[in-house]
Chains A and B, each alone.
Chain A
Amino acid sequence: MATTIGKSANEGIKDASQYLRGTILDGLANAATGSLSKDDQQLTKFHGIYQQDDRDIRGERRKKKLEPAYSFMIRVRVPGGVATPAQWLEMDRIALEHANGALKLTTRQAFQFHGVIKSNLKKTIYEINQSLFDTLAACGDVNRNVMCNPNPHQSKVHAEVLQLATAISNHLSPRTGAYHEIWLDDGTGEKVKVTYDPPLIDDIADPEEPIYGKHYLPRKFKTVVAVPPSNDVDIYAHDLGYIAILEGEDKIAGYNVTVGGGMGMTHGNEETFPRLADLLGFCTPDQAVKVGEAVVRVQRDHGNRDVRANARLKYTIEKMGIDAFREEVEKLCQFKLQAPREFHFEDNGDRYGWIKDHRGHWHFTLYVENGRVYDTKEYPLLTGLRAIAKIHTGDFRLTANQNLIIADITPQQKSEITELLEQYGMIDAHERSAMRLHSLACVALPTCGLALAESQRYLPDLITGIEAVLEEAGLRHDAITIRMTGCPNGCARPYIAEIGFVGKAPGKYNLYLGGGHAGQRLSKLYAASIRGDDAPQILKPILLDYAKQREDGESFGDFVIRAGYVKETKDGRDFHKDVVEPALTV
């Protein structure tokens, strides 16, 4: 088969991988090292697995003549973030038995396990599949976990958007047999039950992935479904988005399709930038999957495979122009998209506490700091949720803000679950400053290999520092979104936060201001390479000013632009422009 191999190293790895097999099986069998080969480390991402190591102890281990403390992060694909109580209990068990005892709820509605060592990897993936989740395509250059709004306010449409999320997730799943061969062969020759069982490609008769071809996508690809007025899934930060357009209260007329959003950039490379998604057009519900596949195919064929830093869909659209891109999509769909419909987003946060839906069922949105579900003596969160999962008859929904909705509680069960929420201290977990409730941080150190600075271990302390200023300014109950990432790739979507921190070096961050409160506007660099510890002092005059000078209903992100602290970023191309370094007096 003729192949076009680009210059980027990952393209060569994919080409030689025999549809994501590589030498992963050999690597798993090698007991002398906790690591996989370099190439296999790229390939396992497609299987939902990242090799990491505890960077805190790298130097110490080298001195002890030990290799780095390698372990694996496993990301579980959870379309729409919905898990049954039985699945929750399995995730809980796996976290305790095979991982580091913490269950991480990610910024993209997935579960993540950290600290799984190589010798436990196969068992863990196998057991995840037994629970009817999988990890295939949770990372890698493919369509990843499809998110959707878990919003219990509009519980009538939730089922329908969840269905779309699942359909897209299934349709865009890789069809290689590699995943089953490597992880699901239990040695008995019996077919293992799996979440979604698509026809797998036969390498001889049908050697190509039907949608992805031989080389998959040039880069990762992220899809979300939003239901206005909530933009909790951050539609503008994703490659492909669907904005549900409602007719009346509970009927979905169709979706505005968005394309070309993305956060990642590289420090010091102005050819890379965060970009908000464009509106592509409107499609009916039955067209939605088809449109998604077409967008993927256009990106597959037109994306930049030479320069990985410019391989995301956002750069393809910048290069082609949105109109030419739409033409290609329509050509593949063989129908035209309609003009986008009217919609309005209010915010991108979660609403904590109890909500009653139209059927009289209850939903409790639990604040989970940094999405980390684990036990401490003071706050045995993992144990508490296990107790609830054992009796709960509804479901659990992971939110895009790393929180958890205990959803669909019957009126009969409400008091029992309330008791457990009280017993384990969860009932008032959200009685915190509005800023803390609107905070988001990525994992970063010590496990993420990309991290340049701390993030989830540091942001809670930093917010404590800022809270002193908020108290002084009387802003404790004002929702200001604040996000931090340890590197510019932007897993916690910092460039659309009202206050964003992006790690540059240990203890040093770029500070961005002016993102839209509903995630509808990019921010702008306010101060480069500041010490994280100085941030409260740097923000203090601005927050005091905001408290005094804001207009009625004016968000902090809007205010800093009006007040001239930063220029508005109207377009990703302008993200690095018009930066005015303030005279910092710290």
Chain B
Amino acid sequence: MSTPNSPLRPEQQQLANQLSHGLDRDQALWLSGFFAGISGSAGSALPPTIPSAAKRKLTVLYGSESGNSEKLAGVIAKTAEKAGFKATVASMGDAKPASLTKAENLLVVVSTWGEGDPPDNAVAYYEAFMSDAMPKLAGVKYSVCGLGDTSYEHFCKMGKDFDARLAALGAERVHDRADCDVDYQATFDAWLAGALKAFPGAEAPAITLPAVAAIASHDGGHGAYDKNNPYLSEILEKVVLNGTGSAKEVLHVELSLEGSGLTYEPGDALGICPVNRASVVEEVLAATGLRANAKLGDTTLAEALKYDYDITTLQPAIVDKYNVVVGDAALQKLLDEEGRVTLKSWVDGRQLVDLLEAYPYKHWTAESFTGILRKLAPRLYSIASSLKKHEDQVHLTIAAVRYHSHGRDRTGVCSCYIADDVEVGDQVRIYFHHNNNFRLPENDETPVLMIGPGTGIAPFRAFVEERAARGAKGKNWLFFGDQHFSYDFLYQLEWLDYLESGVLTDLSLAFSRDQKEKLYVQHRLLERGAEVFQWMESGAHIYVCGDASRMAKDVQQALMDIIAVYGGKSPEEAKAYLEAMRKAKRYQRDVY
């Protein structure tokens, strides 16, 4: 087993390889605990403790939606402490931008969502930070790390915005911004090491990147499995929830955790490492003219394309890299400034194979071809079950993505991997992604109002299961919507049982296509506005899960309208009311 970034000397690595060879899962787990114990007592290997008075101050500011930035902020803080900083971590969800004036050294890690939007709980912070009211930040030394996804148009826009704005406010950039793609670890590690060294003061101590990686990967303390070392989980059940006649295909999937020691909380997400479909690999190989069994490192090209690389996503960024190798003059015209708009519409609905066929190249090698590809990223799904109800299991609600474009049937890489390529009894690679921004209230008496149309229902199945298992006395009100009552009422029988037993206090439904006028959950919210406001006033937590581009916005507007109408407030006051709820963690969203 070869591990990238391994801190081991070659002979140590060899020993480790011998030891790990042929371990069963329990043995591996035991050993991981054993080594964890050793690392705890290996304090002597760390730099000597520096008196706190002498420590340089570092502010770590993060804006996090799914928890990645939050996790990395923790990594930054821990790493910085070891490097002699006194680190303070601040969330854009709680902090005030003006307090940045007090910062000396500042590291920002922020993710970008949707159409170049800030994380959900950083919207207010972002608006204030960009406004004219923001004080100057002269004297602040900073560096920014943006998290994003090159498959979106506004890649790392937040990172770029914060970077530019900090400079405009007079702060001093001591280290260049990093723009991380989905597979962020290496970029992040390099940025962090560079940034910590760039701050003035005592000479930088040795910062070992593996230490960063180790902290990152073991963050959350949930066993030995993570994104880089996923758990092989057996599929126990897989069923399409939509009735015959539906236009939708939403899968309910049950996965086994038996013996893994893995745990999760309702609100967490599950990462699945997909496998590219054999037919797609074949198409891509055919279009490159490369052989399936071409050597690539210690594997074959076909294997690498199947497991390691994203061979479907097509974005201008990939076309850029592509043409660096291919050097096609016509394609280059599209990559130039005037051609860019045409390129954007050309890639829309197309995939890598279309590019390979449209601008063929005869001289690909396995190395040059994979060199332009991104790593195949895992996909996150909101967990639909509670461990209290389903011991040793995790359930998901996955919409199979299928469409036809530019003469080809296309399938979602991960959703259709689950839908078509694996069956009950097969194993899939999974890991848990904890999300502290989507949590049930600790107080079981607190009322909970959940808004989750479509697959947005998933975490609320987990929530309601959890509340039922806990015997929580608080009221539960669920808003669900989809196309048709008859086919698309996800988990209907379970909701009917919860209504009957009283666990579910109320269930409001919006089936958009059962009548002439389209009806959505926000309409149901508005219909019941007086009661919704009463719930808010009585301390209810409001949760929204599902589509970010429209639903979450419409629902948020409906909530503000309700606050305005039934609370007798101006639009600005209503916005502030909801923002206060968000800060108090009483308004949480898990939208995508």
- Identify the A interface with B (CB < 8 A): 31-34, 57, 60-67, 69, 117, 119
Of all chain A residues, the one with the shortest Cβ separation from B507 is A32
With a cutoff of 8 Å between Cβ atoms, the chain B residues found around residue A63 in the complex are 239
Give the complex CA separation of A117 and B243 in angstroms: 15
Complex contacts, A66 vs chain B, CB 8 Å: 241, 243, 487, 489, 492-493
Quote the shortest CB–CB distance from B390 to chain A (angstroms): 14
Q: How far is the CA of A33 from the CA of B500 in the complex (A)?
A: 12
> Contacts A65-B491, A117-B486 given: A32-B514 contact, CB under 8 Å?
no
Bound form: Cα–Cα A64–B240 in Å: 6
Q: Which of A33, A57, A119 contacts B243 (CB 8 A)?
A: A57
B493 touches A119 (CB 8 A): no
Chain A residues contacting B487 (CB-CB under 8 Å) are: 66
C-alpha gap A57/B244 in the complex (Å): 9
Interface centre among B252, B493, B514, by most A CB within 10 Å? B493
Q: Out of A60, A62, A65, A117, name the residue touching B485 (CB < 8 Å).
A: A117
Q: How far is the CB of A131 from chain B (nearest CB, A)?
A: 21
**Roughly how many angstroms separate A394 CA and B400 CA in the complex, as a whole number?**
55
CA distance A60 to B240 in the complex (A): 10
Closest to B515 in A: A119
Contacts of A67 in B (CB 8 A): 492-493, 496
Not counting A31-B485, A66-B487, a sample of 8 additional A-B residue pairs whose C-beta atoms are within 8 angstroms of each other reads A32-B495, A32-B509, A65-B239, A65-B492, A66-B489, A67-B493, A119-B485, A119-B514
Q: A32-B509, A119-B514 in contact; A65/B243 too (CB < 8 A)?
A: no
Which A residue sits closest to B242, measured CB to CB? A64
Q: List 7 A-B contacts (CB under 8 A).
A: A32-B496, A61-B243, A64-B241, A65-B492, A66-B492, A67-B493, A119-B514
Q: Name B residues whose Cβ lies closer than 8 Å to a Cβ of A.
A: 239-244, 252, 485-487, 489-496, 499, 507, 509, 514-515
- In the complex, chain A residues whose CB is within 8 Å of the CB of B492: 32-33, 65-67
Are B242 and A65 in touch, CB under 8 angstroms?
Answer: no
Which B residues touch A32, using CB under 8 A? 492, 495-496, 499, 507, 509
B493 near A62 with CB under 8 A, answer yes
Which of B241, B244, B252, B515 has the most chain A CB within a 10 Å cutoff? B244
Tell me, rounded to whole Å, the shortest Cβ–Cβ distance linking B144 to chain A: 46
Given A32-B496, A33-B496, decide whether A65 and B486 contact each other with a Cβ distance below 8 A.
no
Across chains A and B, which 7 residue pairs bring their CB atoms closest together, nearest first?
A: A65-B493, A31-B509, A66-B492, A65-B491, A32-B507, A64-B241, A66-B243
Are A65 and B244 within 8 A (Cβ)? Answer: no
- Interface majority SS (helix, strand, loop, mixed), chain B: mixed
Q: How far is the CA of A33 from the CA of B497 in the complex (A)?
A: 11
List residues of chain A with CB within 8 A of the CB of B499.
Answer: 32
**Chain B neighbourhood of A69, CB < 8 A:** 243, 486
- Which of B239, B486, B487 counts the most A-chain CB atoms under 10 A from its CB? B486
Measured CA separation A62–B491 after assembly (Å):
10
Q: Report the nearest A residue to B494, measured CB to CB.
A: A65
Most B CB contacts (10 A, CB to CB) among A32, A62, A67 go to A32
- CA separation between A61 and B491, bound complex, in Å? 11
When C-beta atoms are compared, the residue in chain B nearest to A32 turns out to be B507
CB neighbours of B490 from chain A (8 A): 65
B6: shortest Cβ distance to chain A, in Å? 46
| Chain B residues positioned under 8 Å from A64 (CB to CB) | 239-243
**Residues of the B chain whose Cβ atoms lie less than 8 Å from the Cβ of A61:** 243
Whether B491 contacts A60 by the Cβ 8 Å rule is no
Q: How far is the CB of A351 from chain B (nearest CB, A)?
A: 42
**A203 to B240, alpha carbons, bound, how many Å?**
50
A34-B486, A119-B485 are known contacts. Are A60 and B496 too (CB-CB below 8 A)? Answer: no
B582 to chain A, nearest CB (A): 30
- Residues of the B chain whose Cβ atoms lie less than 8 Å from the Cβ of A62: 493
Distance in angstroms between the alpha carbons of A66 and B242 in the assembled complex: 8
Minimal Cβ-Cβ distance residue in A for B514: A119
Instruction: Give chain A nearest CB distance to B517 CB in angstroms.
Output: 14
**Complex Cα gap A239–B561 (Å):** 62
Complex contacts, B242 vs chain A, CB 8 Å: 64
Q: Bound complex: CA of A44 vs CA of B463, how far in Å? A: 37
Q: Which residues of B contact A34 (CB under 8 A)?
A: 485-486
Residue numbers in A under 8 Å from B241 (CB-CB):
64-66
* Chain A residues with CB under 8 A of B243: 57, 60-61, 64, 66, 69
> B488's closest neighbor in chain A, by CB?
A66
Bound-complex Cα distance A69 to B487 (A):
9
Rounded to whole Å, the gap between the CB of B396 and the closest CB of chain A is 14
Whole-angstrom CA separation of A117 from B484 in the bound complex: 12
A residues less than 8 Å from B507 (CB atoms): 32
In the complex the two chains form, what is the Cα distance from A64 to B251 in whole Å?
9
Shortest distance between the CB of A123 and any CB in chain B (Å): 10
CB distance from B512 to the nearest CB of A (A): 13
Residues of A close to B252: CB separation below 8 A: 65
Residues of A within 8 A of B515 (CB): 119
Contacts of B493 in A (CB 8 A): 62, 65-67
Assembled-state Cα–Cα distance A390/B240 (Å): 45
Task: Please give the distance in Å from B129's CB to the nearest CB on chain A.
Answer: 44
- Rounded to whole angstroms, the CA-CA distance of A448 and B239 in the bound complex is 28
CA A327 to CA B395, docked complex, whole Å:
72
With A67-B493, A67-B496 as contacts: A60 and B244 at CB distance below 8 Å: yes
Name the residue on A nearest B250 (C-beta).
A64
Contacts of A60 in B (CB 8 A): 243-244
Q: Which residue of B lies closest to A60 (CB)?
A: B244
| Cβ distance A11 to chain B, nearest Cβ, rounded Å | 27
Report B408 CB to chain A, min CB distance, Å. Answer: 30
Distance in angstroms from B484 CB to nearest chain A CB is 10
Give the shortest distance, in Å, between A451 (CB) and chain B (any CB). Answer: 21
CA distance A60 to B239 in the complex (A): 10
In Å, the complex CA distance between A62 and B244 comes to: 12
Residues in B whose Cβ lies below 8 Å from that of A33: 492, 496
- The chain B residue with its CB closest to the CB of A120 is B514
**Min CB distance, B385 to chain A, in Å?**
13
**Residue ID in chain B nearest A63 by CB atoms:** B239
Residue of A nearest to B245 (CB): A69
Q: In angstroms, how far is the closest chain B Cβ from the Cβ of A292?
A: 42
B380 to chain A, nearest CB (A): 23
CA A64 to CA B241, docked complex, whole Å = 5
**A residues less than 8 Å from B244 (CB atoms):** 57, 60
A274–B239 Cα gap in the complex (Å)?
47
Cα A119 to Cα B489 with chains together (Å):
14
Contact residues in A for B494 (Cβ distance below 8 Å): 65
Chain B residues whose CB sits within 8 angstroms of the CB of A65 once the complex forms = 239, 241, 252, 490-494
Q: Which residue of B lies closest to A31 (CB)?
A: B509
Q: Could you tell me the distance in whole angstroms from the C-beta of B113 to the nearest C-beta in chain A?
A: 31
B557 nearest CB across to chain A (Å): 23
A69 to B486, CA, bound (A): 7
Q: In the complex, A33 Cα to B485 Cα: how many Å?
A: 9
CB-defined contacts of B491 to chain A, threshold 8 Å? 65
Chain A residue contacts of B514, Cβ below 8 A: 119
Distance to closest chain B CB from A390 (angstroms):
26
Give the distance to chain B from A586, nearest Cβ to Cβ, in Å.
Answer: 36
What residue in chain A is nearest B480 (Cβ atoms)? A32
A327 to B514 Cα, complex, angstroms: 57
In angstroms, Cα B218 to Cα A409, docked, is: 87
Question: What's the minimum C-beta distance from A35 to chain B, rounded to whole angstroms?
Answer: 9
